[in-house]
Structure 1
């Protein structure tokens, strides 16, 4: 026999779930609008990731080499220049770029109401990058969350939703699921120990995968502007430290911060990744342009 309260309880549950869903999706339209604006701005300053290859669109002429053979000669151009030239076409085979932005407690931080959460800025940068890539016919996917890589409007839409609202679990980089020789862009504050990130990147190396690390930094983390009696709480709210004179801890903190950054730079160089550092008080276009150019060098 059905409970007389079932329908009422289900209605309340549905209301709670709808409200929770609306709250979770609240930042998405704003993030997507920001990303589209940034992508449009960056697109004006780049010339794509074009490469010579086996497509049908003209890329460039080059001098004929003995190994090319007679069939490769462009006789019309060669007749005009009185030298043998080969016509090369643009590569058309689309590649896949796997995107990931961490959503740990430390990424849910902004030191000011006028600054974005680090996770939101990471999402905006990656969505804007995805917009640029899909416009060029590249396939995009979210590491650990996408069933398959897609391109064009459908690819951008699905990736944008996952980047804006997905869990951003570190499991995705601890057991990466991407094809061999794949390309990835990992966005994080990279505050975990260098040894942890070294182990994670080694798993990409095992797949001969490479890419770009987007390090997101809040200005307060870099500057440590605190003075006087200050209590510091861990992002998860479990631990705290109380300093009577925070400025006395500042010198040690800044030294540790610089050492961590240097170690991360060395790790990226050693493993063949490109490191891009971005502060949330600076225009996101700077980070997106740096990411796009780094991928162009990787391609």
Structure 2
């Protein structure tokens, strides 16, 4: 089990490489709340945005007399429109995520937790509300929420393969799901369909060990699930490579098509690649406002 504070420290190191991430919403509907960041447009808020000349219909109380005294024109002091976006995280904690083909590579679960928590730190720094899918940890702001997330991410699931939590989806929120997505895709389809019905868009990041792509096995091989419930022995592992890689490609295509249909974004990240590259992809995907 990972120490929450150690995990948080590593995630903060990753998050520190990028400026605060604002999860942009196309339409927030009933989840609009005042936040700690600006949306770069005039509206409710406490932070100064800009001065503009007085327009017909502006009440006299809006005029900033100190700024207007510098010249002949009168100016209104505008504030930024501030809205906090709810972002829900689901990180696969199942046994399949605890796989690593070599001690030189992190387990998939370690990389998934690190990326999810780093993303949460960026969001919180940007004034967003971050939490878990389901009902255990509703989206909130603040550094205490980061520690709560780290604690939840340190709990492991005994199931062989994880399925997304799709209860209590907040309308028009954003979401990040991180998993190897090697379980049957029916639950992923259900989760994304329910999310789409409630206006939730997000990012699906598949985390794989490089050996799960390359299938470098030859001769007599025993394949066993990390949880121990599945086992298959073969004398000619090399003969399975083409069929395995074809099924993996089909799974990726299915996930990509599902994301396209529901307005989500999909990518595959390998634990042999840098965590920074994956975090940057998430940053860009969620910051585009179409995630």
Fold equivalence (TM over 0.5): yes
2:261 matched residue in structure 1: 270
Structure 1 CA distance for aligned equivalents of residues 112 and 13 of structure 2: 15
Structure 2 CA distance for aligned equivalents of residues 221 and 107 of structure 1: 12
Greater RCO, CA 8 A, separation 6+: 2
CA RMSD in angstroms, aligned pairs only: 3.3
1:102 matched residue in structure 2: 92
Matching of residue 39 in structure 1 with residue 11 in structure 2: no
Superposition deviation, residue 206 in structure 1: 2.4
- The number of aligned residues is 266
Superposition deviation, residue 251 in structure 1: 1.1
Superposition deviation, residue 168 in structure 1: 9.8
Does the aligned pair in 1 maintain the 2:158–2:227 contact within 8 Å? no
Gaps of 5+ in 2: 24-37
1:122 matched residue in structure 2: 112
Structure 2 CA distance for aligned equivalents of residues 129 and 267 of structure 1: 23
Structure (1/2) with the larger helix percentage: 1
With structure 1 as the length reference, what TM-score do the two structures score? 0.76
Does the aligned pair in 1 maintain the 2:93–2:155 contact within 8 Å? no
Does the aligned pair in 2 maintain the 1:52–1:89 contact within 8 Å? no
Cα deviation per residue 1:204-230 (whole Å; 9 max; x = unaligned)?
Answer: 122221211111111110111111211
1:18 matched residue in structure 2: none
Superposition deviation, residue 245 in structure 1: 2.0
2:30 matched residue in structure 1: none
1:51 matched residue in structure 2: 39
1:225 matched residue in structure 2: 216
Superposition deviation, residue 194 in structure 1: 2.9
Gaps of 5+ in 1: 1-23, 63-67
Superposition deviation, residue 27 in structure 1: 3.8
With structure 2 as the length reference, what TM-score do the two structures score? 0.78
Does the aligned pair in 2 maintain the 1:234–1:240 contact within 8 Å? yes
Superposition deviation, residue 129 in structure 1: 0.7
Q: Out of 238, 250, 254, which is 2:241 matched to?
A: 250
Given the superposition, is the C-alpha separation of residues 148 and 263 from structure 1 closer, same or farther in structure 2, using an over 3 Å criterion? Answer: closer
Does the aligned pair in 2 maintain the 1:145–1:162 contact within 8 Å? no
Does the aligned pair in 2 maintain the 1:100–1:163 contact within 8 Å? no
What are the equivalent positions in structure 2 for 1:78-227 lying under 5 Å apart? 90-144=80-134, 146-165=136-155, 167=157, 173-227=164-218
